[in-house]
Amino acid sequence: MQSIENLKFLTKEQVRNLASTFGTPIYVYSRRGIELSCEKALSFPNAFGITVRFAMKANPSRTVLEVLRRKGIHIDASSEHEVRRAILAGFKPQEILLTSQQLALGLKDLVQSGVQFNACSLKQLEEFGKLFPSGEVSIRFNPGLGSGATKKTDVGGKTSSFGIWHEDLSKVQDIVQKYSLKVIRIHTHIGSGSDPEVWKAVAHYTLEIAAKFPNCHTVNLGGGFKVGRMADEKTTDPQVIGVPVKELFQKFEKEHGKKLKMEIEPGSFLMVNNGAIVSRVDDVVSTGDGGFTFVKLDIGMDVNTRPALYAAKHPLVVVSKEENATRAKGEVVYVGHCCESGDIMTQEEGGGPRTVVTEIPNIDDFVVMEGAGAYCSSMSLKNYNSYPETPEVLLDLEGKFQLIRKKQTLEQVVQNELLVPL
C-alpha cells in the first residue's frame, strides 16, 4: 500500500496563498531547486570536460529557460521550432544541438546561423551532406539497446525508430565519404528513466563507434536519468553512475590518444521535483460497496497527461482549505475534470482506477501534485474540452511567487480559427 506523500518544496501555508492569489489550477516551480539540480548535473564526473544540455521538450517555459541559461546549461532541441524558441529565450545558436525525428525544413538557415545538427537517420545525413559538403555534423546511433521506465519511454533497440541502426555503420561511412563530412560528435540516447547499468553499457558501445570517426571530439550520451517522484522511488546519483563512464573515457584516451569531451542531456533530472501543480477538489463521489471513492480535481489530462499516457505515478498531497484542520486517511482514486474515461490521475498500467492512501479531502480542499516540473505542462493535452492553458508561477530565491505564464483566455484558445462563408 502506498505511503502518505509529503510536499517537496512548498509549505501548506504557501499552497493556500498560491490558491488565494492566483486561483487553481496552477503550476509552480522552485528556482532554488532548479539551480541546485543544475549544479549537480554540471558536476557529473568527466575526464576531459562536459557540456550539459537541457532536453528542452521537458519544459520550454521562458523563465525556466532563463534560469537554466544563467547556470551555463545548453540546449537539446527536438524540433526546429524548439530551436527558434530557445534563440528567442536568449540562447546562442552555437549552444543548441538539434536532434529531430523530422528533418527541419529550415535546416540550411539554422546551420548557417550556428546551430549544431545531429543526423538521426540515413536520409537526414544525406540531406545534410547535399547542403553542406565538407561540413561538420553529429550523428545519432541506435546502439541496439534501450531502457526506459515504461515501454513507451524506451528509445533504443529494435522497437525504436530513433537514431541510425548501429549495424548500418558502413552506410553512414559511405555517406560521410561521399560528401567529405567531418563527424565531430557521436550521440546515443536509450530512454527516459533508463537502467544505469544499461546506460553504462551503451556508453561503452558509443565510444567504440566514436573510434571509427577520426574527427570526432565529443560523445553525447543523452539523458534519461531516473528521477524518483514517489517516496519509494530512487533517483539516479550522477556521482555513482558517472565514475565508471569517466573511466571509459580515460581508457579511450590511452588506447586512441584522443581526449573526448562528454555531453549529457538531462530533462527530468533538472526539473521533475522542482515543479508541482496546485489543484482544488471539485467533488467527491462514491460507487458504493465494492466500488471506489473518487476525488474529482480541477485538473486533468489537459494539465498533465502523464497519468493517462503512461499510468505515471505522481505524489498527491492534500492540503486542507482551513488551517489546522485534520482529515482522516483512507483509500481513494483521484480523477481529472475532462469528460474522458481515461482521465484518471491514479490509474493502473493499461487503464482502470488505482487506489492510493491519502488524507480524504473535502470539497474545496487543495491537492498538490508533485513531480510535475518536467513533461507535464509541455506535454499536456492543452485545450481538451476547451479548458484554458494552465498558468505558471516561479517561487523565487526570496520566497516570493512571480507569475511567469498567464492563464489563457477564451479569445486566445480560438484565435487561429477561421469562419469561412457557408
Residues marked as catalytic: 339
Residue 421 lies in a domain: no
What pLDDT is attached to residue 160? 78
Please tell me the least confidently modeled range out of 73-77, 188-192, 360-364. 188-192
Identify the domain containing residue 136 by its residue range.
Answer: 44-270
How many of the other CB atoms lie within 10 Å of CB of 152?
Answer: 13
Can you give the pLDDT at residue 3? Answer: 63
Residue 20 lies in a domain: no
CATH number at residue 283: 2.40.37.10
* Residue that terminates a domain, selected from 240, 270, 300: 270
Confidence of residue 149 (pLDDT cuts 50, 70, 90): very low
The verdict on residue 23 lying in a domain is: no
> Which stretches of 54-157 are DSSP H helices?
62-70, 80-88, 107-113, 122-131
Q: Which residues contact 158 (CB under 8 A, 6 or more apart)?
A: 144
Per-residue pLDDT, averaged over 263-284, amounts to 97
Residues 79 and 191 in one domain: yes
Q: How confident is the model at residue 156 (pLDDT cuts 50, 70, 90)?
A: low
Distance between CA atoms of residues 164 and 148, nearest Å: 19
Would the pLDDT of 192 be above 90?
Answer: no
pLDDT at 58 over 60: yes
Do 33 and 201 form a contact (C-beta atoms < 8 A)? Answer: no
Residue 189's pLDDT is 82
pLDDT of amino acid 195: 61
- Rounded to whole angstroms, how far apart are CA atoms 23 and 17? 9
- C-alpha to C-alpha distance for 382 and 134, rounded to whole angstroms: 43
Q: Is residue 382 part of a domain?
A: yes
CATH number at 99 reads 3.20.20.10
Mean pLDDT, the chain, integer: 93
pTM: 0.93
Rg (CA), the chain: 23
Tell me: do 230 and 303 sit in the same domain.
Answer: no
> Does pLDDT of 335 surpass 90?
yes
**Single-letter amino acid code for the residue at 107:** L
Q: For the chain, how many structural domains are there in total?
A: 2
Residues 265 and 290 in one domain: no
Cell of 170: 558502413
Do 90 and 113 share a domain, yes or no?
A: yes
> For residues 290 and 287, what is the distance between their CA atoms, to the nearest angstrom?
8
> DSSP strand E in 72-135: where?
74-77, 96-99, 116-119
Span 192-217, mean pLDDT?
81
Give residue-wise pLDDT tens across range 93-136.
999 999 999 999 999 999 999 999 999 999 999 999 999 999 99
Q: Is residue 36 part of a domain?
A: no
Nearest to 150 by CA among 269, 309, 15, 42: 309
- 236 against 407, higher pLDDT: 407
CA distance 286 to 360: 12
pLDDT at 348 exceeding the cut of 60: yes
